[in-house]
Amino acid sequence: MGLAKLSLAMERRVYFILQHLADRRSSRNPRPQHLLTGERGEDAAYFHLRSLGYTVVARRWRADRIKGDLDLVAWDGDTLVVFEVKTRTARDLAAAETQVDLYKQRTLRRMAAAYLRQIPEHHRDRVPIRFDILSVYLLPGGAEFEHFRDAFAYQAELRRFGV
C-alpha cells in the first residue's frame, strides 16, 4: 500500500473515531436516525471518492434562498461534479438512486448554478459540469457503492438560471 493510500486510510479511521465520540456526546439531543444515516453515507462517499482520485471541494454546500444542499462537489480532472448521495442500510426493492426525482434534479441544477456563480465570470462558461448519483449501502460487511455518472442532463436548465 502506497503512502498516500495509507494516509487516506488513517485519516478515514481517525475521522470515524472522532465522529463516533461526537455522536456519543450529543446523545442528550439526538438527531433523527435517518439524518445520521445520511451523514454517515456522505462521509463514506467522501472517502470513497478521494480514494478514486476525485478532489472534493465542498460538502453539504448550501445556497441562500434555495432549500437543501449539495451533498458533495468534486473535481474529476477539469470537470466539476455535483454528487447526490443516497444512503441506505439495506438493499430494498427500490434502489437508492431512484429517489432522485425530477423535482430533486431541478433543485440540484438551481443549487449548482448558485455554486457556479462563485467562479469568476470569465471562467464560468468553460467549466464542464456533471451530475452524478452515488448510492451508498451501509451493510454489516461494510459500505458498498454504486456510481451513476452523468445521471441527468443539466445544460439547458443552468442557462435558464443565468449560468
Is 90 exceeded by the pLDDT of residue 20? no
Residue 163: pLDDT band with limits 50, 70, 90: very low
Q: Categorize the per-residue pLDDT at 119 as very low, low, confident or very high, splitting at 50, 70 and 90.
A: confident
> Using alpha carbons only, what angle is made at residue 26 by residues 24 and 27, rounded to the nearest 5 degrees?
70
107-129 residues labelled b (16+ CB within 10 A) or e (exposed): bbbbbbbbbbeeeeeeeeeeeeb
Q: Alpha helices, DSSP H only, in the chain? A: 3-25, 33-51, 102-116, 121-124, 155-160
Note the pLDDT tens digit of each residue in 87-98.
998 887 677 788
What would the pLDDT profile of 26-85 be if each residue is shown by its tens digit? 655 567 887 888 899 999 999 999 999 999 999 999 998 889 899 999 999 999 999 999
Q: Residue 37: what pLDDT?
A: 86
pTM for the model stands at 0.78
C-alpha cell read off for 54: 476525485
- What number is the average pLDDT over the span 122-132? 84
In the block, cell 445521471 appears at 151
The pLDDT value recorded for residue 70 is 97
